[in-house]
Amino acid sequence: MHHVGCVAMNESISIECPHCGESFSLALDVSEGSAEFIVDCEVCCRPMTVAVRINDGEIEGIEVVEA
């Protein structure tokens, strides 16, 4: 995370863990465009691949699969 005083386009997204089924939220910079990354579940700590489709700063779809 950068703290340089510029306007970050952070969105909070809610994802559901494919392992344990718990949902948690994640901060995402939508100004970067579509992204795919691996995060560890906040509940069971297992990894998952999160693919986010972003068009013009708008989130169009979120896909979560086991990593």
Task: Name the token pair of 17.
Answer: 């863990």
Task: Name the token pair of 32.
Answer: 């970067």
Nearest distance in Å: CB 16, Zn ion:
9
Q: Between 27 and 44, whose beta carbon lies closer to Zn ion?
A: 44
Nearest to 43, CA basis, from 18, 22, 12: 22
Q: How far is CA 38 from the centre of its chain?
A: 9
20 lies in the site for Zn ion, by CB under 5 A:
yes
Q: Between 20 and 27, whose beta carbon lies closer to Zn ion?
A: 20
Q: Which residues bind Zn ion (CB under 5 A)?
A: 17, 19-20, 41, 43-44
